[in-house]
Structure 1
Amino acid sequence: MNKSSSGDYRNYWLHILAWSLFIAYEVWVVWAMNGTLSTFLNYGVHYALLITWFYFAGDLVFPWTFKNLIFSIWKFPLAVAALFVIFTLANYWIDTLLIHFNLVGKKIEIALNSNYIAKILFRFVYIFGIAVAYFFIKNFIKQKNISLELEKQRLQLIIEDERTKRALSKAYNDFLKAQINPHFLFNTLDYVYHNISVQSPDAADAIMNLSEMMRYAVDSAEQEEFILLSAEMEQVEKLIRLYQLRKNQELNIIVDFNKEAGTLQFVPLILMTLVENIFKHGNVADKEIGVQIYVGIENDNLVMETLNGLNLNSKSDSSKAGLRNVTERLHFAYGEDARCSFEADEQVFRARVEVPVNTIQYESTGKAHLGLALY
């Protein structure tokens, strides 16, 4: 049972208890004063009428009456008169029926005269007063619950705001540390480079290439959303030099970069990821198949294509994360105009990316203009 239904359940039994005590009190008072009791049916019908009238007044009439305080000036007298007429006529009708069928325990006669109306008026006044009190207490509790709920929401917003501030503070500190750590690494690599450049030129060249590639990767996150593709082509050539140094220049790698393609503003680290995927998961030692890396423009499309031998010892899904990241980033930047295909046969793996040049130019210039407009 949830909290709301549990509260309704308690209110339900609270009403039953209150009416039970009220009925018992009235029956006892009448018996104490007159020494007589009526039939169970007489009590049941009259109290059923009383309870129905009570909730009709408290839950329907009074909310309509006090919905607008200005209009309540004329609504309230009208409601009092209507409720009294209903209460009087209903009691008279019930009394007439009970007496007619001899269900009150003794034979009496009634008439809708001043005496009967006066007796009904006395009962109406104090029941009406209880109904008004019930309405205002219920309305007060309702407004209090609304205020408590609003206060709870306000406190929740304050808590969420504090959490957001703490999260932003932590993110800022992490950002500062992320800036400090790479710069410390770059300075260290620079120190090592200068100390071994004379004794081991190849090792020094490898350190310099590695440092520049890492700086490119770090700085690309701080640059614009698009960068010159020629800058990434240059980093790919440095990456290839690193692997050639490790393998004593024995790798069969063919690189074909088109200068016109290098002038395009493109999403960074796409080409780098494709090439890194080759060295990480491909069989680059296969001299017969070798490695082919191509970037050019074909039929007004920018084309990036890599080809390499399959590494049969590699896990089947080992390269999916990086290639999936490439696909997602391209679709985010260029929508469905970006087409990616990754195919493997028994010996060769081929990756191909195609994006219309018009789309690349539109997105890069559009974002730039938008940034200037916002600035």
Structure 2
Amino acid sequence: MGIEAGKPKNGRGVYSRTRIIYAHIIVWAIFITYELSALYYIVAHFTSPLDIAIHYGLNISLFYFNALVLFPKAYKSKSILQLKLFVGIILEIIIYLTLLYSLDRFLAFLNISVLQFKSFNAYVVPSTYRAFFMILMSTGYWLGTYLLKSRIEIDSLIQQQLEDKNEQLELQRKIIISENAFLKAQINPHFLFNSLSFIYNTIHKLSASAAEAVILLSDITRYALRKTDASGRLPIHEEVEQISNLIELNQLRFNGELKIQFNVGLITPSFTIPPLLLVSFVENVFKYGKLDDAATPAMVSIKEVAGVLQFRTQNIIQKRKGTVGHGVGLENTQLRLNNIFPDKHRLDISTSENIYTIELDIQMSHAEELYTG
């Protein structure tokens, strides 16, 4: 186990690091005790505690510098790994010998120990051997921690892959459940359309307008339940057709007395839109608008300008009994716009002198920038 740099992220990290430090202290204590015991057995005496502390401090520093600095940095540069290691180890030994000699001179100056420098071989060779010994132990320590860390990372990657696989399987299971639920739900629309067909066949001889209303309602319902493409959209001309059906249906309800204008301009046929996105705005016109003033009729318009779909509604506000404000439906429509056309639409809702206006611009796929009008 290695001592990694950086601040631990939680209490468990602090606890684990503390245990690692304690383990290192215990191992070094055992190692030093063993060497001092062997030395005492051979020479039958100890040097001063300060001398022991300084020399082991230098050896331990060499150990950790080699394991935590030299090898990690050299390993990152794999193209020149051997050269960096060779030069680094030579420099380590030179610096180690220089510091060791300086410390021995300092201790001899303080009369704490005697500098044993009778000859080159008697001082430098054993010291170099000691440096190689510490570097060898340090290399083994680094290699062990590296292999252990690699194994942990591999196990973590395998675990992550298993979790991702399980998530994919769970997602596939939910998709299958959703598809089954959709197929099951189609039974109810079929029942509804059959019922509407029965009602139409029953009343068309009694009231042509009522029969036409049933047909319009059936078309709108069929459109709302129609299966969309992969992006959840349908061609724009179908949305325009349902707006026309909704207007006609409401005109039938009020004997054609509603004052409303519906203007449709040229629109790229390939443009698609989520079903009922614009219909919901038009529905609010009938639900909250005052539509009996011929001087100020309600207005609904849709056209394409410079690669931008422009949709507008305008009406006099008239709150009817049992209705308050413009409700949750409009909020849901705004959420749909944010989800489906993020950063590609502009929605402006305003009220001025009892006139309620909605302006919606949607950047079409072939447009380069949003037209702000």
TM range (shorter): 0.7 to 0.9
TM-score using structure 2 length: 0.73
How far apart, CA to CA, are the structure 2 residues paired with 1:87 and 1:323? 74
Secondary structure at the aligned position of 1:310 is classed as coil
Stretches of structure 2 that go unaligned for 5 or more consecutive residues are 1-9, 368-373
Match of 1:90 among 67, 77, 99: 99
Alignment of 1:1-375 (within 5 A): 1-63=10-72, 71=80, 78-104=87-113, 109-198=116-205, 204-219=211-226, 221=228, 224-227=234-237, 231-241=241-251, 243-244=253-254, 249=255, 252-258=257-263, 261=264, 264=267, 269=276, 272-281=279-288, 292-295=297-300, 303-311=312-320, 314-316=323-325, 318-319=326-327, 321-322=329-330, 325=333, 329=337, 332=341, 335=344, 340-343=348-351, 348=354, 350-353=356-359, 363=364, 366=366
Give the Cα separation in 2 of the matches to 1:333 and 1:3: 42
Instruction: Note the C-alpha offset of 1:6.
Output: 4.0
AA aligned to 1:146 is E
Deviation at 1:191, TM superposition (A): 2.4
Amino acid corresponding to residue 136 of structure 1 in structure 2 = L
Post-superposition Cα deviations, 1:56-105, rounded to whole Å, max 9, x if no partner, equal 2222333455566775556555555444443333322212211221123x
CA RMSD between the two structures: 4.1
Q: Deviations over 1:155-206 (max 9, x none)?
A: 2332332233234333433443454432332122212332454567665454
Q: Which amino acid aligns with 1:46?
A: H
Tell me how far apart the structure 2 counterparts of residues 263 and 73 of structure 1 sit (CA, whole Å).
72
Deviations 1:344-369 (A, max 9, x none): 65xx45334476xxx99xx48x49xx
Paired residue total:
345
2:5 maps to what in 1?
none
Residues 281, 311 of structure 1: 8 Å contact kept: yes
1:279 to partner: Cα distance: 4.3
Q: Give me the whole-angstrom Cα distance separating, in 1, the residues matched to 2:343 and 2:311.
A: 12
8 Å CA contact retained: 2:216, 2:246: no
- From the superposition, tell whether residues 182 and 5 of structure 1 become closer, same or farther in structure 2 (CA, over 3 Å): farther
4+ runs deviating over 6 angstroms: 199-202, 287-291
Task: Report Cα offsets for 1:194-226 as digits up to 9, x if no partner.
Answer: 245456766545433322221233348567341
| AA partner of residue 69 (structure 2) | L
Q: The residue matched to 1:314 in structure 2 has which SS?
A: coil
What secondary structure does 2:234 align onto? coil
**What CA distance in whole angstroms lies between the structure 1 residues aligned with 2:115 and 2:97?**
18
Range that drifts further, 228-237 or 147-156? 228-237
Q: Deviations over 1:4-63 (max 9, x none)?
A: 444433322222222122222222322333332222211111111111111122223334
Percent identity over the alignment is: 23
2:159 counterpart SS class: helix
**Taking structure 1 as reference, are residues 51 and 76 closer, same or farther at Cα in structure 2, changes over 3 Å only?**
same
User: What whole-Å deviation, never above 9, does each CA across 1:331-353 have from its counterpart, x for those lacking one?
Assistant: 949956x66444265xx453344
How many angstroms apart in 2 are the aligned matches of 1:138 and 1:123?
A: 23
Query: Using a 3 Å threshold, how does the CA distance of structure 1 residues 87 and 94 change in structure 2: closer, same or farther?
Result: same
Higher helix content, 1 or 2 = 1
Distance 1:117 1:174, change over 3 A: same
Tell which structure's C-alpha radius of gyration is larger. Answer: 1
- How far is the alpha carbon of 1:137 from its aligned partner? 0.9
Instruction: For 2:357, give the aligned amino acid.
Output: A
8 Å CA contact 1:282–1:308 kept in 2: the answer is: yes
AA paired with 2:60?
A: I
C-alpha distance in structure 1 between counterparts of 2:266 and 2:78, whole Å: 73
Match of 1:350, SS state, is: strand
In structure 1, list runs of 5 or more residues that go unmatched.
Answer: 368-375
